[in-house]
């Protein structure tokens, strides 16, 4: 039997999956790492930690079967995060991550240089602090010595590709989030590169997600046991790969993901460009498709923050404990609201200054209320994106729920009741790594198309329907939630000025 591996270079760790040629899951391996926050609003990681974790994951998976049976590797990972390499392929400085907010001045610079309308026309998106192009300008503006050393700009999964194969390549879905791609025509934008004075030579070659970009090197073969004939596919950004793994490779179904961030995702046969750029429009990892996406930056990350904070207060609670407490609190948490903007926010605010807030605390509120309010706040932000998605023409009738949040029955039910729609959960929900493995199956000719690979692997575990009475409670609470940010917007900007960031 032949196999493929899917590798996801995530924000909290590397996840690897071993699939057979019929898309059956055989093994999972995970290695975790941390994130540095040198200043408020900053987020960095050392790319070497990704590579160390990746090697350990590959070695573990190669220990499950004869490595010669592994024919291909599909790659995915956190989008936007920047890897700066010098002429000797050494990392110039720690990578600036997707959730890093330091580049607000560079966002203004890009919009000023190109013009908002033309920028949206070229890239199908507005400039945002999380995107890659502002990070390049930040390096030029704030660390000129490091900028002078810059010879290659890579995304996380593509840094891993370079270590696996020696090749510098990316796929069009991940490249879409760099703010340097002509999304409509699936190629680098010469006009944008010229306007921003970025040399085309630092960018990797472009590929569709199922294309082969190289084979593993002799050194990697020695370290892992993989054959030097093992091919490495272009892969996709984490959201696009996750969509492939959840069968979102055609128009119609919509994917809601609760991972570190939260996403509402829909595929389309052509680029859907919103002139106000209220949603992201990117190339899909599935060849010939595009996708529309709304993003909230702190979803599962908000619950992780609450758990970690409580642990620091000597409350030794894991996620199952928190969910049990949240079950004991009623819907809408007795008036308690939570804005989950811990690292700023994208859809629909596009405000790097926004911050997290509990509103309406009283003496009756306990850990259960806090937890439920966090879950509900995330669901409300997902509803913000879903409403925009519906306005843009998506029917929002068939919803799949994915990510760590989908493992929570309570959080899944909250999302169903807030959106007012039934939610489907899959039997195998392994996220982007699973989609990357499916792309590898197509690339190694086990399937002809991503649609065929997705159909072979897609199995519905259950469906959660909304409760009409609970929906009414959440409709009222959601309206109160929507009033909070406008009331605090000036405060957030003043707070940001006081902090010096």
Provide the annotated active-site residues: 238
d(CA 334, CA 143): 49
Q: What is the dihedral of CA 195, 107, 152, 149, to 10 degrees?
A: 90
d(CA 256, CA 60): 31
Half-sphere exposure of 329 (CA within 13 A, CB side): 28
Token duo for residue 182:
């002509």
List the one residue out of 91, 99, 10 whose CA is nearest residue 57.
10
3-state secondary structure 434-453: HHHHHHHHHHCCCCCCHHHH
Token duo for residue 169:
């390549």
DSSP for residue 198: -
d(CA 27, CA 39): 38
DSSP for residue 125: S
Token duo for residue 269:
């046969």
φ and ψ of 265, to 5 deg: -135, 130
Angle formed at CA 319 by CA 317 and CA 323, multiple of 5 degrees: 100
d(CA 423, CA 256): 9
327-to-46, 372, 410 alpha-carbon distances in Å: 39, 8, 7
List the one residue out of 124, 258, 137 whose CA is nearest residue 186.
124
d(CA 498, CA 59): 48
Q: What is the dihedral of CA 145, 149, 152, 155, to 10 degrees?
A: -40
Token duo for residue 290:
């595009």
């Amino acid at each position: 039997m032949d196999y493929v591996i899917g590798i996801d270079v995530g924000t909290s760790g590397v996840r690897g999956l071993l699939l057979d040629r019929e898309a059956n899951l055989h093994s999972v391996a995970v290695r975790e790492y941390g994130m540095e926050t040198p200043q408020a609003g900053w987020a960095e990681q050392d790319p070497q930690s990704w590579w160390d974790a990746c090697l350990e994951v590959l070695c573990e998976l190669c220990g499950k079967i004869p490595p010669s049976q592994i024919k291909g590797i599909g790659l995915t990972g956190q989008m936007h995060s920047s890897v700066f390499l010098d002429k000797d392929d050494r990392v110039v400085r720690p990578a600036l991550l997707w959730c890093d907010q330091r580049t607000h001045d560079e966002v203004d610079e890009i919009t000023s240089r190109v013009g908002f309308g033309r920028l949206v026309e070229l890239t199908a998106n507005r400039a945002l602090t999380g995107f890659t192009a502002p990070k390049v300008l930040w390096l030029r503006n704030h660390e000129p010595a490091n900028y002078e050393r810059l010879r290659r700009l890579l995304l996380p999964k593509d840094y891993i590709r370079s270590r696996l194969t020696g090749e510098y390549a990316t796929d069009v879905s991940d490249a879409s989030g760099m703010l340097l791609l002509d999304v409509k025509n699936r190629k680098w934008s010469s006009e944008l590169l010229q306007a921003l004075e970025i040399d085309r030579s630092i960018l990797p070659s472009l590929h569709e997600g199922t294309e082969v970009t190289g084979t593993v090197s002799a050194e990697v073969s020695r370290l892992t046991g993989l054959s030097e004939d093992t091919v490495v596919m272009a892969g996709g950004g984490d959201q696009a790969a996750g969509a492939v793994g959840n069968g979102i490779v055609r128009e119609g179904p919509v994917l809601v993901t609760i991972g570190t961030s939260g996403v509402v995702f829909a595929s389309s046969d052509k680029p859907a460009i919103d002139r106000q750029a209220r949603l992201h429009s990117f190339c899909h990892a599935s060849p010939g498709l595009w996708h529309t996406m709304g993003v909230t930056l702190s979803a599962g990350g908000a619950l992780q923050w609450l758990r970690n904070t409580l642990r620091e207060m000597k409350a030794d609670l894991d996620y199952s404990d928190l969910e049990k407490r949240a079950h004991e609190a009623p819907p809408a948490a007795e008036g308690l609201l939570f804005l989950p903007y811990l690292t700023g926010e994208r859809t629909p605010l596009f405000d790097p200054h926004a911050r997290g807030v509990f509103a309406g605390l009283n003496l009756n509120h306990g850990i259960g209320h806090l937890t439920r309010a966090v879950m509900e706040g995330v669901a409300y932000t997902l509803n913000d994106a879903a409403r925009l998605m519906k306005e843009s023409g998506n029917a929002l009738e068939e919803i799949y729920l994915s990510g760590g949040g989908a493992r929570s029955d309570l959080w899944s039910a909250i999302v169903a009741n807030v959106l007012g729609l039934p939610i489907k959960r899959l039997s195998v929900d392994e996220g982007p790594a699973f989609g990357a493995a499916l792309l590898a199956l197509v690339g190694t000719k086990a399937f002809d198309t991503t649609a065929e690979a997705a159909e072979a692997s897609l199995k519905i575990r259950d469906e959660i329907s909304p409760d009409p009475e609970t929906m009414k409670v959440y409709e009222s609470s959601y309206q109160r939630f929507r009033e909070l940010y406008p009331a605090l917007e000036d405060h957030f900007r003043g707070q940001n000025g006081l902090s010096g960031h």
